[in-house]
Amino acid sequence: MATRAEAGRIRLATAGRLDRARSRPGLLFGVGLAALVVTLVLGVGFGTVAIAPGDTLAILAHRLLGLDLGSHWSVATETIVFELRLPRVLSAMVVGVGLSVAGATFQGLLRNPLADPYVLGTASGAALGAAIGILIPIRIALFEFGIVQVFAFAGALLAVGVVYRLSRTSSLAPLTGLLLTGYAVGSLLAAGLALTMYVSGSNLRQIFFFLLGGFDGSSWLQLAGTAPLILGGSLLIMLRAGALNGFLLGEETASNLGVDVRRERVILLGLGSLVTAAAVSVAGLVGFVGLVVPHLVRLVVGPNARRVLPLSAVLGASLMVAADLVARMLGEIPVGVVTAVIGAPFFLILLRQTRSAYEL
Amino acid sequence: MIEFEGVWAAYRARDVLVDINLRIDPGERVAIIGPNGAGKSSLLRAMNGTLRPRVGTVRLGGDALARLDRQAIARRLSVVPQAPALPFAARVEEVVGLGRLPHEDPFRGQRAADRAAVSAAIERVGIGALAGRDVRELSLGERQLVLIAMALAQAAPVTVLDEPTVHLDLRHQVETMALLVDLNERDGTTVVAVLHDLGLAGHFFPRLILIDKGAVVADGPPDDVLADERIQLVYGVDPAFVRRSVPLAAV
């Protein structure tokens, strides 16, 4: 049995390693990118037809970079890799980036470690919007991006706006207020969603599959429509990392540190909602990624958004591909089930550890 | 230089500042005192532009606050906040580093000059030994120093503080006051502090501004502002309670 002194030494040693990691964010980012490539190759290689990592890399190098690595593969293999699995893996990556960056943004802006697109009702809002969008019999679609996505965005923005407003005026502690408001608004949105599905008639199946989520319907066309929104939105958020840092000690202090609080709040909430809505429109409801990933990153590099946002993006992308891989290995179960099984216990642990606020 | 010209301000329908006219010159050290709810914090908030006057003008370094954006204000005036809550673990240098926000490159973040300013602020306040520590593990007195260092890193000619001694024991109160005096006298920083403790205010500040019901009741040296009749009138208590600590001012 480890003595208390040993446990202390182990803790110190871990802290030492974390210290070194914290001072080398570039290295961490490199490790994250390497993990991304590994999960990409694994994600593309795994499936009912197994494709060797060497072949996967060779096909990707050939198709994307025009390099000939000298190995040979069948046309069928190339089709599987390029038309089926690659768009799926890339979709998972893009969604992972979006949910993680949106989660880090909401947590920083609302100064709440438990905020994420799902807890806040943003994703439910997007889902309700999308369901209503599916019911509307007008299809103006460009790259499979049309009225459904626009409604999803409107729903996300409305939900986060309402939750934010209501929780600010509540007399509860900020953390409790936000969680309870998110729960209440989320429940209302869920009821709206149930009603929408009830009246949807022949569209029920379409809504149901949309909500169930997952990446098995991914295509290059869908990716072309949503990837620019998610990646562009995430990049715009990263460019505002300085303002996000200002919110660490509250809005009043942010203001005194030179942040235009009203403007940045609107921009960051808007971008976070846009990214969430686009992610929901690709993957349906996939919870907890936006909660877990920024936390893990913050544990290692501290609260600076200039590091937290890009590292959350690469880690979120890898984790999402890994979760999708697990979902496929378990016989195509919805990927949201996998992330919930990992994420829900994490959320509960976090809730136990978080004091309502740290007085500085 | 801070100037108030006929400033009235209100929260909803309630006037919190009533016809304020005052001027604080560069290099001054001023304490704002007054009973609870008198408008002391509102005066500070009007100074940093977070409370907009209903009537009148506040000028900072010669320019009307309404014409300056938040970044320009942050470069001229830093605020030591009152015990804000911290949602995530953060190290001393990370919190102090927030003070560089109005100066850092918006895209690339802190550069060498910013990091040097953070180190200098940490050294100036004397908390070098705390660098690398999680601020949540620090004592209240140490956290107060971290917040003062953050304001210093902001490198603004004016620093305002909202009740900097409120949670501190006597030793830390005196140390914090001594640090403010030192910053004012050695670095020439204009210091404006809201204080509850009339003894500390009278001892460490050459100029006191007494606020009551949103208006300036008295403005001048401690002996004048803390006169018996005035304390009796504004606070409604026997001035003997105050006098016990005031003789410090004569030292």
For residue B196, CA distances in Å to B32, B47, B162, B169, B213 come to 9, 19, 10, 14, 16
In the block, which residue shows the tokens 């971290």?
B146
Rounded Cα–Cα distance for residues A318 and A330 (Å):
19
HSE-up (13 A, CA, CB side) for residue B186: 8
Residue of chain A whose Cα is closest to the Cα of B150: A257
Q: Please, what are the domains in chain A?
A: 86-353 (1.10.3470.10)
Rounded Cα–Cα distance for residues A315 and A318 (Å):
5
Dihedral of CA A66/A71/A75/A79: which sign?
Answer: negative
Q: Do A358 and B87 touch (CB under 8 A)?
A: yes
Q: What is the pLDDT of residue A360?
A: 46
Instruction: Per residue of chain B (251 residues), give pLDDT as tens.
Output: 999 999 999 988 889 999 999 999 999 999 999 999 899 999 999 999 999 999 999 999 999 999 999 999 999 999 998 877 788 889 999 999 999 999 998 888 899 999 999 999 999 999 999 988 989 888 888 899 999 999 999 999 999 999 998 888 888 899 899 999 999 999 999 999 999 889 899 999 999 999 999 999 999 999 999 888 888 888 888 877 765 554 444 43
How many other C-beta atoms can be found within 10 angstroms of the C-beta atom of residue A188? 16
Q: Residue A270 is encoded by which pair of tokens?
A: 């808007």
DSSP A61: I
Asked if pLDDT for residue A20 goes beyond 80, the answer is no
Rounded Cα–Cα distance for residues B30 and B21 (Å):
15
Q: Is residue A350 less than 8 Å (CB to CB) from chain B?
A: no
Q: Do A257 and B102 touch (CB under 8 A)?
A: yes
In tens, the pLDDT along A55-100 reads 888 888 888 777 777 667 788 888 888 888 899 999 999 999 999 9
Asked if pLDDT for residue A105 goes beyond 60, the answer is yes
Q: Do B81 and A259 touch (CB under 8 A)?
A: no
Q: Residue B42 is encoded by which pair of tokens?
A: 């509102």
Burial of B47 (C-beta count, 10 Å sphere; 0-12/13-18/19+): buried
Nearest to B147 among A242, A245, A360 (CB): A360
Q: Which residues in chain B are contacts of A19 at CB distance < 8 A?
A: 132
Find, among B251, B194, B246, the residue nearest to B225 by Cα: B246
Probe site for chain A from B79, B88, B96 (most A CB atoms < 10 A): B88
In tens, the pLDDT along B17-26 reads 999 999 999 9
Rounded Cα–Cα distance for residues A273 and A116 (Å):
11
Residue of chain A whose Cα is closest to the Cα of B70: A258
Q: Do B81 and A258 touch (CB under 8 A)?
A: no
Confirm if B49 and B58 have CB atoms less than 8 A apart. Answer: yes
Domain map (residue ranges) of chain B: 2-250
Q: Quickly state the pLDDT bin for A245 (edges 50, 70, 90).
A: very high
Confirm if A145 and A209 have CB atoms less than 8 A apart. Answer: no
Rounded Cα–Cα distance for residues B208 and B249 (Å):
12
Confirm if B141 and B148 have CB atoms less than 8 A apart. Answer: no
Chain A segment 27-86 residues within 8 A of B by beta carbon are: none
Residues of chain B with a CB closer than 8 angstroms to some CB in chain A: 48-50, 69-75, 77-79, 81, 83-91, 94-95, 97-99, 101-102, 104, 106-107, 109, 132, 135-136, 143, 146-147, 154
Rounded Cα–Cα distance for residues B31 and A27 (Å):
49
Q: How far is A172 from chain B (nearest CA, A)?
A: 15
DSSP A145: B
In A110-173, alpha helices (H): 122-135, 147-169
In tens, the pLDDT along A166-180 reads 877 665 555 567 778
Rounded Cα–Cα distance for residues B49 and B65 (Å):
6
Chain A segment 212-241 residues within 8 A of B by beta carbon are: 239, 241
Dihedral of CA A286/A27/A53/A60: which sign?
Answer: positive
Confirm if A250 and A305 have CB atoms less than 8 A apart. Answer: no
Q: What is the pLDDT of residue B227?
A: 87
How many other C-beta atoms can be found within 10 angstroms of the C-beta atom of residue A42? 15
Rounded Cα–Cα distance for residues A300 and A46 (Å):
31
Rounded Cα–Cα distance for residues B181 and B190 (Å):
10
Summarize the confidence of residues A299-321 as an average pLDDT. Answer: 93
Choice between A233 and A194, residue whose per-residue pLDDT is larger: A233
Burial of B137 (C-beta count, 10 Å sphere; 0-12/13-18/19+): exposed
ipTM: 0.90
Q: Which residues in chain B are contacts of A358 at CB distance < 8 A?
A: 85-87, 136
Hey, what CATH topology would domain B2-250 get? Rossmann fold (3.40.50)
Q: Do A249 and B84 touch (CB under 8 A)?
A: yes
Q: Residue B91 is encoded by which pair of tokens?
A: 């190290």
Q: What is the pLDDT of residue A358?
A: 44
**Backbone phi, psi, residue B52, to 5°:** -85, 130
CB pairs under 8 A between A and B: 107
Q: Do B83 and A360 touch (CB under 8 A)?
A: yes
Residue of chain B whose Cα is closest to the Cα of A264: B70
Q: Which residues in chain A are contacts of B142 at CB distance < 8 A?
A: none
Q: Which residues in chain B are contacts of A306 at CB distance < 8 A?
A: 109
Find, among A268, A85, A111, the residue nearest to B84 by Cα: A111
Residue of chain A whose Cα is closest to the Cα of B74: A258
How many other C-beta atoms can be found within 10 angstroms of the C-beta atom of residue A74? 9
Q: What is the pLDDT of residue A1?
A: 41
Nearest to B85 among A239, A250, A261 (CB): A250
Amino acid (1-letter code) at residue B245: S
In chain A, alpha helices (H): 4-22, 25-45, 53-60, 75-79, 86-109, 122-135, 147-169, 174-198, 204-212, 220-239, 241-246, 251-256, 261-283, 289-301, 305-329, 335-353
Asked if pLDDT for residue A343 goes beyond 60, the answer is yes
Confirm if B51 and B169 have CB atoms less than 8 A apart. Answer: no
DSSP A65: I
